Amino acid sequence: MARRALLVASAGETFLKELARRNSASQPLGLLSVAAVLKVHGWEVRVLDMLLGVSREALRREVADWRPNLMGISTSTEDFAGALAAAREARQVDPRLPVVVGGPHVSFEPEEALRSGWVDYVVMREGEATIVELVIAMEGLLPLSQVRGLAYLDGNRLVVNPPRPFLEGLDQLPLSPFRLASGRGYLASTTIVSSRGCPGGCIFCASGALSGRRYRTRSAESLFGEIYYRCQTSGDNYFVLFDDTFTSDLHRVHRLCDLILQCGRKLRWRCNSRVDRVDSALLRHLAEAGCAAIHFGIESGDQKILDSISKGITLEEIERTVAETVACGMTPMCSFIMGHPADTEESVRKTLDLARRFREQYRAVAAVSCLVPYPGTAVWRNAERLGIAIEARSWSAYDINNVIISTRNLSQDRLRELAFEVQELVFSGRGSPAVDATAGPAG
């Protein structure tokens, strides 16, 4: 019997989709990791990335012509409506097709997907081991109740199984079949996530809740092997590491830099970090090994605000790290957020002034976005206590280019005015902070 899995990266019909389609950063790395373990267990796998313009009609044709035995959909909060639409399209073609949804949104909000009528199972948090056990359960060889990390409906009763322990030994995961999503439109032909877990505790970020606070990594040797193989295969010497905080393990990063320098191939790359997770020696080593840019989450130009969001860094650390990054010949990519719970007109002005100065003084790429209380974040869990009123009426509104909140100090209208002011400065070319669509918030 054929065992075919169609994996779909969803996209909502929003302005953000059009923006991301033009500046798409990465292959759907989570889906590709799930594809890898399914292939190891004998499944044929195809991947459709709807962010790159795959239409619903194309999805319907794929289901009708290929007849998959399983459909998996990955979704973020802003793309949740697109995920349900993709599930509905597929089920209208094949009403018996089992549909599984995973990703950060449903990991914290599984019930809405399951009660939509189009979704059978929700895989919460890391999906590799859960999807394997799920397909075993679907074949009648394991009770659904024993599949950790799974949510489903038993009649009309919501069942949320105990959470699955986070994966250890990431080197043991099979190499992702990146050729399944090798279409044009990505930032780079080689994009990799080599670690999981975030040691930071920022209240606006769900990384810790999604993948744990303990930092888990692939070895430098394993990571370098994939980098070299994929660059050799693609013929492209540029790659991007999308780890939330790539430099959390200094020894591993120094070892990777040594391996890159020893290989004799001139590689260029970029990564994400925090200003308190690098030092002068590491920055010099990164630059020597071909790192061209580092993305830092700065978030605010006001120390009181940084303290209030549990960022754990100081303005002095920020300035020193950005200056040292430039001195080593790399580009600092700095992301800022306005609309923090304690933000005032004055603190937002400080943030915009710092972003502007970094762009002018250090030629930094500076991106200013709006606070979004995504499910799983401390802001989302404690919105009322923090004085945050969520004004959005649909999940599609939850994107960083949209103001969906009001705070104790700033109304939604005033935050919108400030956001428009940022955009006006950007597009008038008066040396203001630039919005870079590929630079999402770092840790």
155 and 282 share one domain? no
Give the pLDDT confidence score for residue 440 in this predicted structure: 39
The encoded tokens of residue 333 equal: 């990519």
Is the pLDDT at 278 greater than 90? The verdict is yes
Is the pLDDT at 182 greater than 80? The verdict is no
C-alpha distances (whole Å) from 124 to each of 91, 100, 111, 133, 218 are 22, 11, 12, 13, 22
Give the pLDDT confidence score for residue 183 in this predicted structure: 66
Residue bearing the bigger pLDDT, 442 or 234: 234
DSSP state of 242: -
Is residue 13 classed as helix, strand or coil in its secondary structure? coil
Residue bearing the bigger pLDDT, 125 or 16: 125
Got the DSSP string for 331-400? EEEEEEEE--TT--HHHHHHHHHHHHHHHHHH--EEEEEE----TTSHHHHTHHHHT-EE--SSGGG-ST
Whether 175 maps to a domain, the answer reads no
Residue 71: strand pairing partners: 6, 99
Give the pLDDT confidence score for residue 16 in this predicted structure: 52
Give the pLDDT confidence score for residue 43 in this predicted structure: 97
Whether 227 maps to a domain, the answer reads yes
Tell me what the mean pLDDT of segment 411-432 comes to.
Answer: 72
135 and 198 share one domain? no
367 and 230 share one domain? yes
pLDDT confidence tier of residue 200, bands split at 50, 70 and 90: confident
Whether 441 maps to a domain, the answer reads no
Residue bearing the bigger pLDDT, 255 or 51: 255
395 and 250 share one domain? yes
136 and 68 share one domain? yes
The encoded tokens of residue 67 equal: 């007849």
Total domains, the chain: 2
Is the pLDDT at 296 greater than 90? The verdict is yes
CATH of the domain at 280: 3.20.20.70
152 and 205 share one domain? no
Whether 139 maps to a domain, the answer reads yes
Is the pLDDT at 203 greater than 60? The verdict is yes
pLDDT confidence tier of residue 181, bands split at 50, 70 and 90: confident
Whether 50 maps to a domain, the answer reads yes
For helices 315-327 and 345-362, angle between their N-to-C axes, nearest 10 degrees: 20
Whether 117 maps to a domain, the answer reads yes
Is residue 216 classed as helix, strand or coil in its secondary structure? strand
37 and 117 share one domain? yes
Give the pLDDT confidence score for residue 2 in this predicted structure: 78
Is residue 258 classed as helix, strand or coil in its secondary structure? helix
Give the pLDDT confidence score for residue 432 in this predicted structure: 38
Whether 182 maps to a domain, the answer reads no
Whether 293 maps to a domain, the answer reads yes
349 and 208 share one domain? yes
The pLDDT > 90 percentage for the chain reads 82
What is the rounded CA–CA span in Å between residue 379 and residue 390? 10
What is the rounded CA–CA span in Å between residue 55 and residue 32? 20
**Beta strands across the sheet bearing 291-299:** 191-192, 238-241, 268-273, 291-299, 331-338, 365-370
Phi, psi (degrees; rounded to nearest 5) at 296: -115, 135
109 and 200 share one domain? no
- Residue 40 near residue 183 (C-beta atoms within 8 A): no
Give the pLDDT confidence score for residue 71 in this predicted structure: 98
Q: Identify the domain containing residue 217 by its residue range.
A: 187-428
pLDDT tens for 60-103 read 999 999 999 999 999 999 999 999 999 999 999 999 999 999 99
Return mean pLDDT, the chain.
91
Is the pLDDT at 433 greater than 50? The verdict is no
DSSP H helical ranges for 237-308: 250-262, 280-288, 303-308
C-alpha distances (whole Å) from 313 to each of 275, 300, 327, 401 are 7, 10, 21, 25
Phi, psi (degrees; rounded to nearest 5) at 270: -140, 160
Strand stretches in 149-250, DSSP E: 150-154, 157-160, 191-192, 195-196, 216-217, 238-241
- Residue 5 near residue 68 (C-beta atoms within 8 A): yes
Give the pLDDT confidence score for residue 52 in this predicted structure: 81
Give the pLDDT confidence score for residue 438 in this predicted structure: 35
Give the pLDDT confidence score for residue 400 in this predicted structure: 87
C-alpha distances (whole Å) from 160 to each of 75, 109, 122, 149, 154 are 19, 11, 9, 8, 10
What is the rounded CA–CA span in Å between residue 128 and residue 64? 27
- Residue 324 near residue 275 (C-beta atoms within 8 A): no
417 and 304 share one domain? yes
Strand 121-123 vs strand 99-102: parallel, antiparallel, or unpaired?
Answer: parallel
pLDDT tens for 108-164 read 999 999 999 999 999 999 999 999 999 999 999 999 999 999 999 999 999 999 999
pLDDT tens for 363-411 read 999 989 999 999 999 999 999 999 999 999 899 999 888 999 999 999 9
